Amino acid sequence: MIDLSRLSATQIRDGIVDKLFTAREVTDAAIERIGVLDRQIHAFNQVTKQLAYAAAERIDDAVASGLVLPALAGVPVAFKDNMYLTGTRTTCSSRMLENNESVYDCTAVHRLLEAGTIPLGKCNLDEFAFGSSTEYSAFGPTRNPWNPEAVPGGSSGGSAAAVSGGMVTLALGSDTGGSIRQPGSFTGVVALKPTYGRVSRYGCVAFASSLDQIGPLAKTVEECALALNAISGKDPMDATSVERPAEDFATGLAEGVAGLRVGVVTDFLEAEGCAPEVRDSILAATEVFASLGAEIGEVELPSTAYGLSAYYIIAPAEASSNLARFDGIRYGHRAEDAEDVIDMYMRSRSEGFGPEVLRRIMLGTYALSAGYYEAYYGQAQKARTLIKRDFASAFERFDVLLAPTSPTVAFGIGERMDDLLSMYLSDICTIPVNLAGNCAISVPSGLSPSTGLPIGLQIIGDHFAESTVLRAAAAFEAAIEFDPTPPLVQEIQYEATGERKRRGFRR
């Protein structure tokens, strides 16, 4: 049986081209791994075996016919369950959409399938992407492959856990305030939030339309670059997608960082709740960049102190508007035996939505209500402008910025469910990037000395500077040689082969 956790996306495609194995054998291996691990992890809401085998058959037929395979042919992939994929349900991990059949494909999903990937399923998330731990799912929490008693982060926790556990090679998530990068940090995988507008949002159920962006999660920087090649580009179905010259994000990854101007964001190192071990890991990463020839300096982003407050006005306000369509008449769960239409509205939404969704809808509706709009939403947008200006000023001096992805490592399941401020603070270092619309990537920077859980380094770039961010991430990745295989997967591999891999990283 093929061990997918030991093969990169390029190695999978090349192995199929060279007839070392077939796409069906790759699919068999992925489905077997899901069967072994997902009973403990719950990364998936739905496993799409029929779609996977149909895609594998097309690839194997193409090989037999001597056709040139697409760039990601045969690579197992999963999608966050807020993205439409024909032949699946798109539930957003909510009872409101529990039976919602996909009638078309999300553009990013379609483009990744066109690149030859094998769709293995739809991944669990915080309901409607409202959360930072993947505990706010109507179908139960996802667990972290590094420690099943810890959360995988959120809201794309299912996507991150599927990649971390070696169940798929690539996954797509959506990032509104850190929902790709923070779970990437917690599960020790590479996680990229592209610039707003780089990737079409069409077919991804909207949370906050001015903040949402789709991006990839993978074990390596190169795999994220290959995925971005496939999914980026203008889409006529999404007016916010931007027309840009085509780029190959995988070229130039080996160019290194000599001469690159790297700014360390002191505000994030001093952010509320930033653990000393996280701060130490980021400072150690800075030394790695210096040893590779980068020019290091410090930078302040003072307006980012307002980021969390501004986000929790803007995002719920946009969410309350976007979720108004799920009323039991146009879309979503409909309550039975209602007395009248008002009663039907109220019962449908209270039965269909979970507590965190209801909380954010109420916050957003209040912020947009007459007499409060300018006091709250208007002020939050002004703070957002100041944050954008801070980033713009920083990128006049630096090519990339370094910061923690999250101020802590993964916390325990249930640990923060009754402490909302503590839960929200886990995104304090990622939210400002969404407010400014910049690109950023999270790469593992090592393991916590106290818990053995991964710590994430966030590398932030200017608008449409993904190539520079990916190059910096690849140089750091090569320098520290982090092993992204969780202990749970290590044990499975040891039982199968008797071989244990190196833990942690080497500088």
Whether the pLDDT of residue 36 is over 70: the answer is yes
- Residues in Cβ contact with 14 at an 8 Å cutoff, skipping those fewer than 6 apart: none
Structure confidence at residue 496 (pLDDT): 54
Mean pLDDT of 2-25: 95
Q: Quickly state the pLDDT bin for 273 (edges 50, 70, 90).
A: very high
Nearest to 205 by CA among 354, 318, 313, 309: 318
Angle at 355 between CA 184 and CA 206, to 5 degrees: 55
Note whether 4 and 488 are within 8 A (CB). no
Instruction: Sketch the domain layout of the chain as residue ranges.
Output: 4-306+382-497, 307-378
Nearest to 492 by CA among 32, 10, 171: 32
Cis previous bond, 155, omega within 30: yes
CA distance 67 to 487: 40
Name the 3-class secondary structure at 22: coil
Note whether 234 and 244 are within 8 A (CB). yes
- Segment 49-100, tens digit of pLDDT: 999 999 999 999 999 999 999 999 999 999 999 999 999 999 999 999 999 9
Angle at 125 between CA 119 and CA 128, to 5 degrees: 110
Instruction: Retrieve residue 202's tokens.
Output: 């069409």
H runs (alpha helix) in 203-275: 221-231, 266-269
Among 221-230, 457-466, 492-501, the least confident range: 492-501
CA distance 444 to 155: 18
Q: What is the CATH number of domain 4-306+382-497?
A: 3.90.1300.10
Structure confidence at residue 495 (pLDDT): 60
| Mean pLDDT value across the chain | 95
Whether the pLDDT of residue 467 is over 90: the answer is yes
Instruction: Retrieve residue 378's tokens.
Output: 């208007």
Whether the pLDDT of residue 418 is over 50: the answer is yes
- Residues in Cβ contact with 459 at an 8 Å cutoff, skipping those fewer than 6 apart: 400, 401, 402, 440, 441, 442, 443, 469, 472, 473, 476
Q: Is 253 exposed, middle or buried (0-12, 13-18, 19+ CB in 10 A)?
A: buried
Question: If you search the block for the tokens 């037929």, which residue do you land on?
Answer: 61
Whether the pLDDT of residue 471 is over 60: the answer is yes
- Residues in Cβ contact with 472 at an 8 Å cutoff, skipping those fewer than 6 apart: 257, 260, 262, 289, 294, 399, 400, 459
Whether the pLDDT of residue 506 is over 50: the answer is no
- Residues in Cβ contact with 167 at an 8 Å cutoff, skipping those fewer than 6 apart: 30, 33, 34, 37, 38, 41, 43, 44, 76, 78, 120
CA distance 31 to 269: 41
Question: If you search the block for the tokens 């070696």, which residue do you land on?
Answer: 166
Q: Which residues are part of the catalytic machinery?
A: 80, 155, 179
Instruction: Retrieve residue 217's tokens.
Output: 């999660």
Question: If you search the block for the tokens 């800075």, which residue do you land on?
Answer: 286
